[in-house]
Amino acid sequence: MKRKPNFLVILVDDLRYDEFGAGGHPYMKTPHIDRIAHEGALFERAFHTTPICSPNRASILTGQYASRHGIIDNVARDAASHRLPNFHLELQRLGYETAHIGKWHMGNDGKPRPGYDYWVAYDGHGRLYDPSLNENGTYVQRHGYVTDLMNEMAVEFVRNKHDKPWSLWFAHKAVHPDAEQAADGTFRMDGYRPAERHKDLYRGCVFPKKPNMLPVEEIIKQKPAWAEVLRLRQNAQSREMLDAIHAGTQEEIRLRAAMMASVEEGVGMLFDALERTGQLDETFILFLGDNGYFFGEHGLGPERRFAYEEGIRSPFIARYPRRIAAGVRISELVICQDIAPTLIELAGGKPGPQIQGRSLLPLFAGKRAGWRKSFLIEYWAENAYPWLIGMSYKAVRDKRYKFIHWINRGRQGELDELYDLEDDPYEIRNVARRAAYRTVRERLTRELKRLTAEAIGL
Tell me the CATH number for domain 6-372: 3.40.720.10
Q: What is the pLDDT of residues 281-308, one digit of tens each?
A: 999 999 999 999 999 999 999 999 999 9
- Mean pLDDT lowest among 97-106, 183-192, 298-307: 183-192
Distance CA 88, CA 97 (A): 9
What average pLDDT does range 163-172 have in this prediction? 98
pTM of the model: 0.97
What share of the chain in percent tops pLDDT 70? 98
Domain range annotation of the chain = 6-372, 376-455
Flag whether pLDDT at 124 surpasses 80.
yes
Confidence of residue 442 (pLDDT cuts 50, 70, 90): very high
What distances in angstroms separate CA 192 from CA 185, 261, 376, 389, one per listed residue? 20, 13, 32, 26
Q: What are phi and psi of 272, to 5 degrees?
A: -60, -45
Picking from 113, 116, 55, 119, the residue whose alpha carbon sits closest to that of residue 82 is 113
User: What is the predicted pLDDT for the residue at 129?
Assistant: 97
The Cβ-side half-sphere exposure at 377, using a 13 Å CA radius, reads: 30
Terminal-residue alpha carbon distance, the chain: 40
Q: Distance (Å, rounded) from C-alpha 440 to C-alpha 374?
A: 13
Treating both helix axes as pointing N-terminal to C-terminal, what angle do 339-346 and 53-62 enclose, rounded to 10 degrees? Answer: 30
**What pLDDT, on the 0 to 100 scale, is given for residue 1?**
57
- Which parts of 245-393 fold into alpha helices (H)? 250-276, 309-312, 339-346, 361-364
Question: What is the pLDDT, as a whole number, of residue 85?
Answer: 94
Those residues whose C-beta lies under 8 Å from the C-beta of residue 96, and which sit 6 or more positions away, are 4, 7, 88, 164, 165, 166, 167, 347
Query: Amino acid identity, residue 409?
Result: R
What whole-number distance in Å separates Cα of residue 375 and Cα of residue 334? 9
Q: Residue 187: its pLDDT value, please? A: 59
If you compute the radius of gyration of the chain from its CA atoms, what whole number of angstroms results?
21
Give the whole-angstrom CA distance, residue 84 versus residue 63: 11
pLDDT band at residue 78 using 50, 70 and 90 as cut-offs: confident
Average pLDDT over residues 214-242: 96
Lowest-pLDDT range, 91-105, 169-183, 365-379, 385-399? 169-183
Strands 328-330 and 41-43: parallel
Mean local confidence (pLDDT), 408-432: 96
Nearest to 6 by CA among 75, 88, 96, 69: 96
402 and 428 Cβ atoms separated by less than 8 Å: no
Residue 185 has pLDDT above 60, yes or no: no
User: For residues 167 and 384, which has the higher predicted lDDT (pLDDT)?
Assistant: 167
* Local structure of 276: helix, strand or coil: helix
Is a pLDDT exceeding 90 seen at residue 189?
Answer: no
Nearest residue to 23 via CA among 43, 51, 52, 47 = 43
- Which of 119, 128, 102, 381 lies closest to 255, judged by CA? 128
Torsion of CA 109, 114, 170, 330, to 10 degrees: -120
Q: How many CB atoms lie within 10 A of CB 84?
A: 23
**Of 172, 228, 224, which is closest to residue 432 (Cα–Cα)?**
224
Report the mean per-residue pLDDT for the chain: 96
pLDDT of residue 76: 81
Measured distance CA(168)–CA(176) in Å, rounded: 21
| CATH architecture for residues 376-455 | 2-Layer Sandwich (3.30)
Q: Is the confidence at residue 38, as pLDDT, over 90? A: yes
